Structures are given as structure tokens and as C-alpha cells.
Structure 1
Amino acid sequence: MAAALAASSPAAAPEAFEVMPENWDAMRLFLAMETQWRRAGMSGIATGLDYAVLRPVARLCGLVVGADLFDRVRIMEGAALLAMAEAAGR
């Protein structure tokens, strides 16, 4: 457990990166959704974000989900799924 917590700590995070202003709300929402991944059966492989909680989470962040914000979050979701698959050797 301690190793998992250490791996997710800010010290273990990759280098800082720039977020373009037009993507800031999507980044905030995507990060707020970090515990809302759907997983496949016993394998635990992430299959995507739980869209049922997207609007409530957005509301808690002071955001309103429209088509543009939803599309931007989906792009981040796709990139994250690809990165997780690559990290797992799939």
C-alpha cells in the first residue's frame, strides 16, 4: 500500500507541463474524475470514465458540461487509456 501511495505522490509525478488556457476547465474536470474509472471484471483494466458522475463532479468544480468540455475530457480519457495500456504492456 505504501508503495502505491508513494508512486502516486507529487514527487513521483512526471515533469511539469503547460496547459493551454482553453483546456484548463477540461483538465480540472479530468483530474477531479481521477477516481471515477470504470474497470473490466476481475482484470481491473480501465475501460473509461464513469460518465454518470461527470455532471455531478463538474458541478462540484463549478463547471457546466457542454459539448466542447465533454469532447476535451474524452480526448484526455483516450490518451490516458492509451498510456495505461502501454504502461501495462498491452
Structure 2
Amino acid sequence: VSNQGKTEEVTVLKGIGYKCDEEAIRVIRLLQYEPAHNRGMKVRSNMRTSVRFRLPVRHATSIQYTTTSASRPVEKKAGIVHHYTITLNPSEKKS
């Protein structure tokens, strides 16, 4: 931390990878600290800060499949055609 309270050199001590280290560095650089004082003078100092990452809670997804069939035989051309209706969480409102 500089004598003005800004973060200068950021180092990851125990990283987990997967771009989390880079994100932790980015967030730490945004922080502003109260400068340390020594005999009334603002001085540079070192700090350790922990950054914890949490994955979002996953909710169960209900899936409903329905198929329809033609009432009379249809002449099939190249390829197979299937008709599906898929509804995801029909009763759940988005928040």
C-alpha cells in the first residue's frame, strides 16, 4: 500500500487458477486503504487480504417433453423430422 493508500504491487500467495487469481488481483487493485503512519508521516506498508469465491446455488430444473405425430402418413423426404415441445420450469417465475 502506497503512502497515499493505493495498492501498488499485488501478489497471489495461494491461487486456485481458472482465472480466479486474475480476478482477485483486479478486485484488490480497486481497493483504497488508509495509509500507515510512522512518527506522524504517511509511509508505505504491506497488507494481506483474503478473497473468497463462491459458486452460485444451482436450482433443480424441471423439464417436460411432448411429442406430436402426424394424423396421416406423410411422404418422408431426405432426413428424419421430429417435433418436440420443451418447457423449462413452467411454474417458476424469473426474479
TM-score range with shorter-chain normalisation?
under 0.3
Superposition TM-score, scaled by structure 2 size: 0.21
Structure with more strand by fraction: 2
